[in-house]
Structure 1
Amino acid sequence: MIKINEKMKELLKKVEKSEIKTEIKADELAKIMFVNFKEVYNCIIIDMNNTIKEESINFQRILSMFGDRTGYEASCNEIRINDYINYSDEGTVIQLGKLILNAWKDKLKTEYPEYNFCIIFSFSNGFGTMRFHVIREDESRWLESDLNKYKDEAIIVEEI
C-alpha cells in the first residue's frame, strides 16, 4: 500500500518528467540504494559498513531512549540523500528518493520476507530523507496515518 500526502503529489506532478541533474558517483549511489541491513534484537537496521555486532549493543538502554523498536528503527534507519550527491535540484532528489524506495523495498522483502515494513521518503527544504521500520502489531507506526498533517514535508509511505 502506498500513501502520498498532498504536498508530495504536487511535487511529483512538477518533477515527473525531470531528469536527474547532478553529479553522482556510482559507489556513493550504491551505498544508499543497496545498503546492508542487519537484524539486531528483532529490529532491522542499516549497517552501512557491516560492523554492527549485536553483542556490543545495550538494547535495554536503546529501548529506554527510543520507547520501542519502531522508534529505534525509524531513528537509526535514516539516510539523507543529499549527503551522497554533489549538487541537486528538487526534481533530482525526488527522483532518487523514488528509486531508493523501490530498491529498499525489493531488498527488504527478499532478505526479510517474514517481516512487513513501512518505508518512508520525505522531502523538505531541499533535502530528501529515507527511513524505514518494521510494522509491528503491538506498536504504532512512526508517522500518523493522515500524512497531510505534515504540512512542511512532502511524504511517500509504502507499506510492504
Structure 2
Amino acid sequence: MHFNKKYTEDNIKINIEHIIHQFGDRTGFETSESHVHMIDISKTFKKHPLEGLMFAKKLLEIWSIKLKIDFPEYEFILILTYHDDDTILRFHRLRESEETWININNIEDFEEGIIIRKV
C-alpha cells in the first residue's frame, strides 16, 4: 500500500456530499477504500489461511510505522479481522467529529477474530 501525502483530504478537492451519501462519513469511506483481503494478495493464503493471517500481522506492523512516519500529525486505527479463512486489514484516521468504524470498546462482542491498533 502506498500512502501519498499529495492525496490527503486537505490537498485535493473531494465531493464530500457523495462520500457521506455512499459511506455515511469520511471514516466509512476511508475504511472501505483502505481494506485489503490477504487472499487477494496471494493464492497461497487461500490454501493456507493461517499464513495469510501471519502475513497480515506483519503488514499491520509495516502500515503502523508507515502511517506514523508519513502522517505524524494524525492518529489512526488499524483493524485486522480473521473470518471464513480470510484475513482483512484496513485503517482509518481518527477524527473528533466521527465515530470509529468499529466500536473498539466492545471488541469482545465481535464474532470474528480481531486485532485493533491505535497509532
TM-score by length of 1: 0.66
2:98 pairs with 1:158: no
1:83 to partner: Cα distance: 0.6
Structure number with bigger Rg: 1
The structure with the largest helix share of the pair is 2
- Paired residue total: 114
- Alpha carbons 1:70, 1:139 under 8 Å: kept: yes
Higher RCO (CA 8 Å, separation ≥ 6 residues): 1
Tell me the residue number matched to 2:66. 107
Deviations 1:94-119 (A, max 9, x none): 11111000000000000000000000
2:109 pairs with 1:149: yes
Q: Distance in 2 between matches of 1:62 and 1:139?
A: 14
Tell me the residue number matched to 2:53. 94
Percent of aligned pairs with the same residue?
A: 30
Q: Distance in 1 between matches of 2:56 and 2:108?
A: 19
CA RMSD across the alignment: 1.7
TM-score by length of 2: 0.87
Deviations 1:24-76 (A, max 9, x none): xxxxxxxxxxx11234324xxxxxxxxxx945x53321122212111111111
1:87 to partner: Cα distance: 1.7
- Runs of 4+ in structure 1 displaced over 3 angstroms? none
In structure 2, what residue type is equivalent to 1:37?
Answer: F
* Unmatched 5+ stretches in structure 2: none
2:9 pairs with 1:41: yes
